[in-house]
Copies of this chain bind each other. A is one copy, B any other.
């Protein structure tokens, strides 16, 4: 819709020259970086992900590095999930909350050493957050952004591609676990991870000057498997029920509202940010829940960027936080962040624009 150019404020990743050469046409901005979205054929890019494999420049998944004697202490203070048993080489998905228990980010938290952690973040400024907390609590920890840029390989054939580059050991990695490695002199960390539910890996490039080299190595290894381009903004993430913080959350969304209960441990120590608020919400029960919404009709009508009101019997019960046309379901689907008493199967009305009401149903997530 609008042409956007990279600037010092809207940084391209080390894969910028590669994605330009590949013909990237549209992008999003994520963590103040260019996040490639499409190379001109979103439908092909979707099916490549579902049926084969794709490589994505996800350098916009920036790292907040905690390093120093108090790094582990700060990691736990920021995380309402118990990290005490986390091993070196292990990653965990953690919904971060503020003092009111509102979700502010949902990084993968990687433990590299006892005194070195990376928070591989979603789209909000956790450097500011972590620095403010560390300084106010007098912790001995340095918070910085390391030279690290993830490149994703996703899809059912992704493991073959990544194994052919790094070796069969990658096949034994458990979900979110990672190993440090090197390929043609390029330092990386390889993690089973990714912004889809089709399986795959993220290769954390640790030398920004080698972006094009790493891109070409993966691209060549992917040729036998028909590797394609694309970006993680496809309908697949909605079909798969993945939450996007900042899209599917508002200024009062708790982890319990959006089904992240299993990633919260309210028995962590009292100094963890937001833990008192989360205990209270847990005791009282969440006021809201997230449900799938399938709209009636089968004409693609995916566009929607304001939270669209959801009503039952003329009473507003929540909002449609996203909306895509699912190529596999051939339906317009999205998430409803609704009152806790909305039931699966309930019939709803979504006001997509003034005067444009569309009926639909509340369903279980994920959709597929």
Give Cα distance in the complex from A321 to B247, angstroms. Answer: 32
How many Å lie between the Cα of A273 and that of B24 in the bound state? Answer: 42
| B-chain residues with CB within 8 Å of residue A216 when the two chains form the complex | none
A136 close to B128 (CB less than 8 A) = no
Instruction: List chain B residues, Cβ under 8 A from A104.
Output: 128
- The verdict on A4 contacting B29 (CB below 8 Å), with A9-B123, A136-B137 known, is yes
Pairs A–B under 8 Å by Cβ, sample size 19: A1-B4, A5-B26, A5-B305, A7-B28, A7-B247, A8-B306, A8-B307, A9-B244, A9-B246, A10-B305, A98-B132, A125-B128, A129-B129, A132-B136, A133-B136, A135-B273, A136-B136, A136-B137, A144-B251
Expressed in whole angstroms, the Cα–Cα distance for A29 and B124 within the complex equals 14
Each complex incorporates copies of this chain amounting to 2
Taking a contact as CB atoms closer than 8 A, the residue among B124, B132, B145 that contacts A132 in the complex is B132
B-chain residues with CB within 8 Å of residue A11 when the two chains form the complex = 305
Contact of A129 among B9, B132, B251, B321 (CB under 8 A): B132
Contact, CB under 8 Å: A246 / B32: yes
A1-34 interface bits toward B, Cβ cutoff 8 Å, 1 = contact, 0 = none: 1111111111110000000000011111110101
A105 shortest CB reach to chain B, Å: 9
- Beyond A129-B132, A144-B251, A251-B144, is A246–B4 a contact (Cβ under 8 Å)? no
Chain B nearest CB from A252 CB (Å) reads 11
Chain B residue at smallest Cβ distance from A10:
B29
Task: Contacts A2-B24, A10-B28, A129-B132 known; list 20 others, CB within 8 Å.
Answer: A1-B6, A2-B3, A2-B5, A2-B27, A2-B34, A3-B3, A3-B26, A4-B4, A4-B27, A5-B28, A7-B247, A8-B247, A8-B248, A9-B244, A10-B29, A29-B32, A99-B135, A128-B128, A132-B136, A136-B136
